[in-house]
Amino acid sequence: MIYYVYILYSNSLDRYYVGSSGDIQDRLSRHNGGRSKSTKAGVPWSLVFYESFETRALAVQRELEIKKRKKRAYIESLVASFNPDLKQV
């Protein structure tokens, strides 16, 4: 199984959310369905970045690494490098 670290963006809140999951489409659906307490207020969320990993442990490790940086500029640099054609949100 492949695991993912993902970054979502909410236009309404102008916020990013970093998470990890084994099923990125299902997780996005849950976020946008209001079934996640931490992202309910920001619906709709857009997937703006993801990385894949062979193990859940590696995905969680990377998720924590991104969260520890605590800099919006760092997250925006990841998003820009992932999709250079995506306008800076």
Which residue ranges form the domains of the chain, and what is each CATH number? 3-82 (3.40.1440.10)
> Rounded to whole angstroms, how far apart are CA atoms 66 and 72?
10
Q: What values do phi and psi take at 51, rounded to 5?
A: -130, 150
CA 6, 10, 11, 16 dihedral sign is: negative
What does the pLDDT look like over 31-52, one tens digit per residue?
A: 999 998 899 999 999 999 999 9
Higher pLDDT, 89 or 86: 86
Q: Look up residue 26 and give its two tokens.
A: 């299902």
pTM over 0.95: no
> Rounded to whole angstroms, how far apart are CA atoms 6 and 28?
9
> Rounded to whole angstroms, how far apart are CA atoms 45 and 42?
7
Q: What pLDDT score does 85 carry?
A: 63
